[in-house]
Structure 1
Amino acid sequence: MSVKKQVCVLLSDQGCGVLPVDEIGEDMGLFEIGFDSLRYMEFIVLLEEHYGIQWPDDALEISSATKVKDMIGVLEGCL
């Protein structure tokens, strides 16, 4: 599974999110898809466990500007 697809799955109701995976686009904001700081940290834990990585400290904050494509980019940088 591609990094983009895996991120969308983990952000969806199949992971720790609320929306079906087919409703999540990479240009959507995390707040827009139902995330808050707690749900975001759950997502980070899932990514770290799934990929065996350490998420960068400078990417641990969520803001209204944080988009799905940003998460994909950070993850690709960790791999």
Structure 2
Amino acid sequence: MADEPSAELVEGPSVAVPATKTEIIMAAKTTTDNDIADDDIEPLADETASQAQRVVAAYATDADECRMLLAMLGIQPTAKVD
């Protein structure tokens, strides 16, 4: 029992993380009750997409993360306009 990893939490700057290197993995809750057909999805307005790009860019740690988050939202990055 002495070699068993501790489940004690260590307080970080903004989140509590496990004190050991063992990751806590939880299965995602999936359901097909709320699935939306592709025909029911409406295109995003240009202004809404632009606002979302600004918010994502402000919180992303780097350009790669920004591109990944935009892709997850289904928003294509746009070229910088001078």
Same fold flag (TM > 0.5) = no
Structure with more strand by fraction: 2
State the TM bucket, normalised to the shorter chain.
under 0.3
Name which one, 1 or 2, has greater alpha-carbon Rg.
2
Output the TM-score relative to the length of structure 2.
Answer: 0.27
Which of the pair has the greater relative contact order for Cα pairs under 8 Å at 6+ separation? 1
Q: Which structure has greater helix proportion?
A: 1
TM-score normalised over the length of structure 1: 0.28
